[in-house]
Structures are given as C-alpha cells and as structure tokens.
A and B are shown apart, each in its own frame.
Chain A
C-alpha cells in the first residue's frame, strides 16, 4: 500500500509539472478567429489528459525501475501475479468513457466551427499551382490577397484549377482542402477577431513549389475594408495592358512566367510576342494573338521545346474572353 501512495504522489507531481510546463511554453500560435476559440479550448483539455496519462504510465514505470529493480547481489524472481480481471475491466471501461466524452466534445466543437451567419460575406477562393485568387463575388472583383473585415463571418467557397490544395491560416486554426472538378467546391467559415496581417499557407502537397504557395491575409476595420473595396472597384483600369498586369498576378501566371526575361518554370513573357519559337515536335511558329490565346485556354496544344514536362493548368478556361485579351495586350507590351 505504501508503494501506491508514493506512486500517486509521483504521478500527481509529474502531471502538474508536465501540464503547467506545456501551458507555460504556449503551444499554439496567436489566435485570430472565432472558430479557433473552441478548438484551442479542446486542445488544452487534450493536453491536460495527455499530461496525466503520460505521468501515470511513466510514474509507475520509473517507480518500478528505481525501487523494485534487481539490486546488486540480489537473487530470486519478481512477485508472482498473473493479472487482475477487475483492474482490466476498469481500465477498459474508464478510458472508453473518456474517449467517448472527447468525441462528443469534438462533435460539438466541430458544429461550432460550422455555425453559419446569414450575413456572411461570400468569397470564392481558387487555388492553382502555385498561387491563390480571391473572388469577391458579392462585389464582382477579384484579388490576389485576402482582405477581411474584422468580426464579420466570411463564407469561403474553395475550389482548385488543377490539383488538390488546402486553405490554412494557422492563426485561424481551421483548414479545408480545395478540390478540382465540377461540383467539388467546399465551404469553410472564418470569422476573424484580430486585426493584422497573416499568411495563407497551402497545406496539401501540390507539387514542387508547394512551400511557396502563400498569400497575404489582412484583417481590417470594416470602414477601411469598405474603402479598399471602393478602390478595387474604381481601379479597374481603362487600359487593357494595366488590366492584363492585374490578371497576371491574380490568375497565378507570375508563379511560372517571368516578365523580365529571367528563368522560371515556364517561358518568360519578356519579348515573347512576335518571337519565333521551336515547338516540342520540332516545328516553328511566330508567337501571335491566336497562338497566345490557344496557349492560355489549351496549354498542351502546342508546347515549346524544353517545356515538355511542365504541365500548365488550363487557366484560360476560368477567365473571360476580355480578360484573356487583356493578358495578351499585357504580353505585347513587354519588351517592346
């Protein structure tokens, strides 16, 4: 009996040390969303249960190792007992209760993260190798950064133009994959609660540049956000070249095509228009409006030699004809 009292004290001390130690370190990053509140609460509970169970097993183990071990010169075997059905039943039933309770808490917390606000702002988030585009469908413009007004729920509709990506802002906690294909749009609700600039980081391996598939997420005061929206709507330029440059950023062209002649995954746009290119099958052609249009809508139709292994997504299929024309004008303006 004496041994059990000592172990109980040891386990209690270990639990407190481990539990408070982990609390003191601060395990989670800054919290900046309403949905993350329940997640952090639940995670903290998990950490305390983990601390206790770790202390329980390690406490008994250490005690057995130090106190009961075979000392120098000792002979003989350990105590002979083969089991205890009561104990076995107890440590089957009690943990069962605990994990079912946690699963229940997990379900209610999940429901909390999915709670819908009818006034939520609709934003379509499109992932593509290797950039993000945010379509503010309520206003009719799109952006390559995600700006959100504080304390208002955003209903993000996630989709992908090519492979699977995943939307994750660590400070928001919640995460959801973006899938390619019709009817594969997925929802994620985020209510930002803290002003600041965060980073959206693609969390599903999506190819070689996966590490760099980032976007700025900026949480603003509502009036500043409204100003930004005004600016966006007003800044749609009359100049097709300027518009093309915007689409170049928003549709992810910049991930693979440089505009200064430097090497990236795809051919540079600098001095591209009017240039003679050799295709993968050996034929040559002069880059003109028609060829550029085809390459934007159906990239695999005529691949330039040296780029056979690079698969460009059919970006043009999610653009309007006007936008494609703007991009072509933008390309024409480069290296003139």
Chain B
C-alpha cells in the first residue's frame, strides 16, 4: 500500500509551498515596481519583504486549493459535499491535501502542533544550554533574544493548533455530528496556519528580533526586519483561531444529535465552546496591536512613538486584552480533557457536572476583565491597579470549583493508572502548582517584586504544562486507539510520563526559586555573584529530560502506528458515543450508525443507565 507512487505536486502542501515561494518573489517585485513609480529607490528591505511575504501567504492558500470550492460557488457551479479521495493515492496522502473531514483536519492540526512543539522546544534547549552557566558561551545576544521570542510564539502557535486538533477531532464526535458545520472554512482555518508558521520562523533568518514574544514598542519599532515577519505570521495564525472558533460554536449549537441537551454534552464540549467564545472575540486585538506597530514601521504612523505624540502604554492594553484571555484558550480545553478522563478511569460520575461546565464559561468571562494585571508595574494610570487586582482574584473561584470537583470525582473512585490517567493526574498536580502561584502575582504589592522575574516564568510554565501539555498528551494516548485502530505501547507511555513529570517539577520550582532571589526574565547572562549557576544547570538538565520524554512519545506514536497491536473499539470501557464506532472511525462518523442520547454522560457505576442508544448495535461494539 505504501509502495504506490505519488506525484508530489498533486499534494496541496507541496503546491502551496511552491506557490508561496513564487508569490513572495512576485510580491517583492510588485512592491519594487510601486516604489520606482513613486520615485523611490527600488530596494528597501523592509517594505519589499513585507509586501512579498503578504502576497506569498495568499498564493500559498491559492496553491493548496483552499479557495477552489468557494470560487466555484461564486460562479454558480456545483461542489461536492466532501472532496472525493483519489483512489490511486495511498492513505497517507489525504493528510497532505485539502480535506473537509474534521478528523483528517484534526490530525493535520495535531501533527503540525507536535512539529511546532518540537521546533519551539529545540529553541528552548539551545538557549537553556546558554543559561546553564553564567557568562556567554554559545549565542550572541541578538540570537538569544530571537530564540526566546520564537520559543514563546512558536509554542503559542503549537498550543493553538493543539487546541484546534482536540476541538476539531473531538467536538463533532462527542456531540454525535457527522462533521463540522462549515467544512470548507474548517480546512481554510487549518491551512492558513502553515504559511503563518513559516513566516514566524523565517524571522530567524531575516535579522531576528530582540523584543521577546510580546513585541513591546518602542523596542519593536526599531528591531530588525525579523520583527515584521514575526508580526505578520502571528497575524495569519490569528485568523485561524477566529475562523476555527466560529466553526466550533456553530457546530456545538446546531449539530448535536437527538436528545443531547446542552447539559448532556460530554464536558469537553463545554470547555471547547467556552474557548471558542474567547478566540472569536479577543484574537482581533493582538492582530490589531501588531498591525499598528507594522504600520508605524512601514508608513511612519506614530501610534506608539512618543516623538509623534504616541503612547507606549496603549500597545500593552491592546496586546494583553487578547494575550491574557489567550492563556484561557490554552488551558480550558486541557482542563476539559481532565474532566473528561477522570470519570472514565475512576469509574465514577463526574462530580458536579453543571458546576464544572459553568466554571469554564465563568473563566472565559472573567478572563476578559483582568488583562491589566500584566501591567501593574508598567506605569499605566495608577488607580487602575486596584480594580484589576480584585477582578484577577476572581479567576481563582471557578478554577477552585474545578479542582474541588476533580477531587470529588477521585474520592472513592476505583482508579486505574494507564498512561492517559497518569498524564491526567500529573496535569492536576502541575496545574495546581501553576494555579496556586497565581494569587501572589495578582496581588499588586507582592507583584511589584515578582513581575518580570523567573518566578513568573516558573508560574506560567506550570499553568501551560498542567493546563495544556499534560492533558494534550493524555488526550493523544486516550484517543490513539480510536484514531489509528492500534494500541500505543504502554511501557513507553509510562517512561514518557515518569521522565517528564518529575523533570517538570525540578524545572518549574527551580525557575521560581531563582526568580524570587533576583533572576530577571529574558536575560542572556546573569551575574555570577548571585550564585545561580547550579540552579540553572539543574533547570537545563530538567529541560533536556523533558525533551527526551517527548522524543520517546514520538517514537511510541510512530512505532505503534506501524506495528502496534490492533486495539479493541472501546479499550477504556467508556460511555462516550465515539467508542461505540469501529476504529479507525469511518469517514462520516455516525451516518451509518445513527443513535440518540437516552441518559447521562457520566453514570459510571450505575447499572442499566446507558448514555447513548444506537439504532443497530455497531459491529465493533460487540467485543
């Protein structure tokens, strides 16, 4: 099957990339032509590259065929419901092509997410090696700053795509839909990430940028050309968030199977929908703030230029109005996975389903009123600090509800500890560390000391690992048999966990420790007099252990996919409808296996209380 020959130009990805290269060149030519017509010299690196990069992204999308069906529709031509899969192509080819199947798109998101995770993790390993001892050994300063900025933003892209992977793959399956509400938009929302990510990483080769991922002006207004590529890449990835979120919301509201009321949805769907509400309404602001700096650089508009009456604080307000809610975009789906998996492995109902569902919405809502806690020392209007302290503290309430409800779910549960459950429990403990180290930062007085130190670095890495990384791995292990039809290797899975879990604690606690003692964020070198060498060496070693664990995960995934045991259709004895379908799941999900919801989703331990009733028992459910 894998021996079939494929014309690589029939693959959307390859066509898109070729188109992007040509489009970029054409775009650069067009800008130079315009400059000549305006009487300027043809070459000026910044406008020429920006123009080329912009056109390149659009031609990438044209090249992939993302616009094809919409163009046909505009001219009144018929389009097919689903793209026909070319029978002459091997099975893997569909993952490199435009597909409207939400499961294929989910996998595309997931694989791209892991690739970006590895890229951003590699950046981190490089600068962590530099930080292992005081002094400069490996990197020059501009490269160090570029790497920390790219580590941040590429990780954010990876997380956003990982969230997209989970939402796209799972939401239709969990609510009994045959696909997403807007399959073409879904494909478009995935593919725009690819040229966007290329642009972000290309900043490394175009002079880099010295501002970190936050890109604060005036520094970003005078950074090298790489800054512009970074801004534009993020801008396009933001489009993906907005469009994907729209799709999730409509799908959740309109595509649920018969009998599935809002409070009968598997709990992950609540998390995904709350996440989508944030992405849909806040992402515009980071795009806007970055665009304003781009225009300041390109056209001399003085938004944030004090010499032209601009205000540097304004940028921070616009930036954090997205970038704070964004952290809830990163963690809410992960917390949803924790709530989804705990009952299955504790063999008990989810404690306080409605409270957990509402707490997701609550976090999403409160998340909009707390952005300025990133600015307590920024010099914004001083009276704003106290109200933002109170509003930030409120985040603890819905988050606390989740923790207590998880404990309620575990209490008296018959827990077993397969790899997905290990990652779920690890996530609870690490997110606890991340969550509890939040209030000292939310309190203005203590934040005066903590702000911009490694304490903050440790705090948010704990929230990201507990809120996304660990749950994401839990989800991959949990649904791996459903996605591939094969079982992952349990032994390698446990190695993955038992390396990553303690290593993360060492890394995060080490970061908090040096932060409190005076280690600033984002410095390439530190004062040897502070005696941080040993702590930093430990943090670096822990980072490499985490990387090793991720490598084991990748080996496990590839090996199991090729040579893994055939998985039973419901290895976890789950009540969720997708586990009653054959593995791998057929293209149109439930079209051939209609069902309706007749009970509660998490009635584990209650006899004769099924959640779903299929019209005819799917063959696979018999085993």
List chain A positions with a Cβ less than 8 A from chain B.
27-29, 36, 38-39, 42-43, 46, 49-50, 53-54, 57-58, 60-61, 64-65, 68-70, 74, 76-84, 87-88, 91-92, 95-96, 99-100, 102-103, 105-107, 109-110, 112-113, 158, 162-164, 166, 168, 170, 173-182, 184, 186, 199, 201-212, 214, 309, 311
Contact = CB atoms under 8 A, between A and B. Distances in A.
B414 A78 contact: yes
A102 B439 contact: yes
B212 A87 contact: no
From B379, B404, B432, B440, name the one whose CB has the most chain A CB atoms within 10 angstroms: B379
Which 6 A-B residue pairs are closest in the complex by CB-CB distance?
Answer: A181-B306, A77-B605, A109-B445, A78-B348, A170-B518, A106-B443
Interface string B414-440: 111100000001001100110011011
B389 A58 contact: no
A4 B520 CA distance: 43
Contacts of A109: 443-446
A184 B306 contact: yes
B355 A88 contact: yes
B414 A110 contact: no
Interface stretch (B48-56, B171-179, B449-457, B475-483): B449-457
Given A106-B443, A201-B520, A205-B522, A43 B437 contact: no
A91 B404 contact: yes
Nearest to A67: B412
Interface in B280-315: 306, 310-313
Contact of A180 (B312, B411, B516, B522): B312
B521 A205 contact: yes
A103 B389 contact: yes
B414 A69 contact: yes
Interface stretch (B100-108, B392-400, B546-554): B392-400
Given A60-B407, A82-B351, A175 B449 contact: yes
Given A99-B439, A109-B445, 12 more contacts: A28-B517, A57-B403, A61-B425, A61-B428, A64-B346, A103-B442, A106-B445, A168-B520, A175-B451, A181-B310, A207-B145, A210-B145
A57 B408 contact: no
Contacts of A49: 439
A46 B443 contact: yes
Contacts of B218: 162-164, 180
Nearest to A202: B520
A177 B352 CA distance: 44
Given A29-B516, A110-B386, A166-B377, A80 B606 contact: yes
Contacts of A65: 410, 415, 417, 425
A162 B307 CA distance: 10
Contacts of B404: 87-88, 91
Given A100-B390, A170-B518, A95 B526 contact: no
Interface residues of B, number: 91
9 contacts: A81-B351, A82-B349, A103-B389, A110-B386, A168-B452, A176-B377, A199-B527, A203-B452, A211-B525
B393 A99 contact: yes
B523 A211 contact: yes
Contact of B443 (A68, A82, A87, A103): A103
B379 A177 contact: yes
A210 B522 contact: yes
B141 A79 contact: no
Contacts of B216: 163-164, 204-205
A215 B296 CA distance: 33
Nearest to A56: B407
A204 B349 contact: no
Contacts of A50: 436-437, 439-440
B444 A95 contact: no
B435 to A, nearest CB: 9
B224 A309 contact: yes
A174 B352 contact: no
Given A65-B425, A70-B416, A201-B518, A83 B210 contact: no
A56 B248 CA distance: 36
B171 to A, nearest CB: 24
Given A54-B432, A203-B452, A311-B222, A106 B446 contact: yes
Nearest to B225: A309
A46 to B, nearest CB: 4
B346 to A, nearest CB: 5
Given A68-B413, A74-B414, A46 B439 contact: yes
B520 A106 contact: no
B211 interface: yes
B604 interface: yes
Given A68-B415, A80-B349, A174 B408 contact: no
Given A91-B401, A113-B445, A201-B520, A163 B386 contact: no
B64 to A, nearest CB: 36
Contacts of B437: 50
B386 A180 contact: no
B604 A77 contact: yes
A79 B452 contact: no
Contacts of B141: 208-209, 211
A180 B413 CA distance: 58
A99 B396 contact: yes
Contacts of B390: 100, 103
Nearest to A158: B379
A96 B313 CA distance: 31
Contacts of B85: none
A185 B384 CA distance: 17
Nearest to A112: B445
Nearest to A60: B407
B352 A84 contact: yes
B408 A84 contact: yes
Nearest to B444: A110
A100 B516 CA distance: 24
A28 B396 CA distance: 24
From A77, A186, A209, name the one whose CB has the most chain B CB atoms within 10 angstroms: A77
Nearest to A68: B412
Nearest to B605: A77
A193 B217 CA distance: 36
Nearest to A50: B436
Interface in B341-392: 346-355, 377-379, 385-386, 389-390
A205 B389 CA distance: 24
B397 A64 contact: no
Contact of A181 (B312, B401, B414): B312
A73 to B, nearest CB: 12
A81 B452 contact: no
A14 to B, nearest CB: 13
A53 B431 CA distance: 13
Given A77-B348, A77-B604, A99-B397, A46 B440 contact: yes
A68 B522 contact: no
